[in-house]
Amino acid sequence: MKQTIRTILSKHGNLPVSIETVSENADLYDAGLSSFASVQVMLALEEEFDVEFPEHLLNRKSFSSIEEIDAALSEILKDQAA
Partner 1 sequence: MTAASKITAMTLTDRAKRAANVAAEFADNVDVEGRFPSEGMDALKAERLMGIMIRPDFGGEGANLTEVADICAILGQACASTAMTYAMHQIQIASLADYAIGSNWHEEFQKRICAEQLLIASATSEAGIGGNLRNSICAIEVEGDTARLTKDAIVISYGAHADATMVTSRRHPDAAHSDQVATIFLKDQYTLEQTSVWDTLGMRGTCSDGFIFKAEAPKEQILPRPFAEIAAQSMLAVSHLLWGALWYGIAADATARAQSFVKAAARKSPGQVPPGALRLAEASSLLQLVKSNVVAGLKQFAACKGDGDALNAMSFSVAMNNVKIGTSQTILTIINHCMLICGIAGYKNGTPFSLGRHLRDAHSAQLMISNDRILGNTSTMLLVNKQDTSLLG
Q: Select 25 or 43, whichever has its Cβ closest to partner 1.
A: 43
Q: Select 1 or 15, whichever has its Cβ closest to partner 1.
A: 15
Q: Select 16 or 78, whichever has its Cβ closest to partner 1.
A: 16
Residues contributing to the site for partner 1 (CB under 8 A) = 16-17, 27, 29-36, 39, 42-43, 46, 53, 55-56, 58-61
Q: What is the rounded distance in angstroms from the CA atom of residue 56 to the CA atom of residue 71?
A: 13
Using an 8 Å Cβ cutoff, are 24 and 66 in contact? yes
Length of the chain as a residue count: 82
Q: What is the rounded distance in angstroms from the CA atom of residue 7 to the CA atom of residue 10?
A: 5
